[in-house]
Amino acid sequence: MREVQFREALREAMQEEMRSDERVFLLGEEVAEYNGAYKVSQGMLDEFGPKRVIDTPIAELGFAGIAVGAAMNGLRPICEFMTFNFSLVAIDQVINAAAKINSMSNGQYLAPMVFRGPTGSAGQLAQQHSQNFENWYANTPGLKVIVPSNPADAKGLLKSAIRDENPVIFMESEQMYGLKGMIPEGEYTIPIGVADVVKQGNDVTIVSFGKMMLRAHAAVEELTKEGIDAELIDLRTVRPIDYDAVIRSVQKTNRLVIVEEAWPLASISSEISHIVQRRAFDYLDAPIHRITSQDTNLPYAGVFVEAYLPSVERIVKAAKSVCYKA
């Protein structure tokens, strides 16, 4: 094992796949000459050259369309959005082209490609740069959606995404690019659609993914101090969702708290709540609790940003509530 930053793990995944498969290339805004807006692609232009690490104009609809066309013709593009907020400009290509070309062509065309970049709040970046769209994209048949929470998962899942025959949405957090973590030495991948039981527990199941795993971890530590043994599950992918892992945990703990950064309406936590109610209702000893961002556009002031986002305190309170220890 060795310690790397989140951004370095992503870079290693892309470099390794580009070295082993000449069909893989990277395109997006500032990915080449500037080494990436968040230095994820640092040094890749020098290694692979301008035909495989391509700076694009500020035209997401255009370069996303180029990437879809390249994927349909046998290449494997990695299409980087500087932020997934900007992917809304290209959403027609993502949803109406990439996600549908396989079924629309009766299998004659595939779109093996990755759309990747940062998602969610990154501090005081205001409303148009701080939104979460993983539940939007997860609502689209034909797409797979990955939201890793640590460097090891980021590398292993990105390698799997690049190799996948389907279009994959790969969402990162700007606030996690500098996060350090241990990753395995040598070649490894992590299968898409398999959750990680980060901590075993018996009293309550806490499910999260992405950046919110950091706060879920902190909440679990606080709960442990108060005598509550929480089981913590990192979904890692939100399409497909590993429902079985959640169900098995709820059958053991009989209680469920779900934490995510998106708005509450039509969220990933809404979907998980529905499935658990249908498949494990008789095991529940308390109502399911969801912790999401507040149902409003993100304010600018720092104090309001923290009030808007799921907090450790809210997670702890919810877990204690379902354990009847509030």
Active-site residues, by number, are: 60, 129
Q: Which neighbouring-strand residues pair with 239?
A: 145
Cα separation, 263 vs 293, in Å, equals 5
The torsion angles phi and psi of 281, rounded to 5 degrees, stand at -60, -45
Which is nearest to 115 in space by CA: 152, 139, 86? 86
Locate 91 and state its tokens: 């959403």
Which three-class secondary structure state does DSSP give residue 224? Answer: helix
CA separation for the pair 318, 141 (Å, rounded): 32
Q: For 94, which DSSP code?
A: I
In angstroms, the CA 284 to CA 100 distance is: 38
Residue 174 is given by DSSP the state G
Nearest Cα neighbor of 41 from 81, 3, 8 is 8
* Residue with the two structure tokens 């708290």: 257
Q: Cα 39 vs. chain centroid, distance in angstroms?
A: 19
Instruction: Go through the chain and tell me how many residues it has.
Output: 326
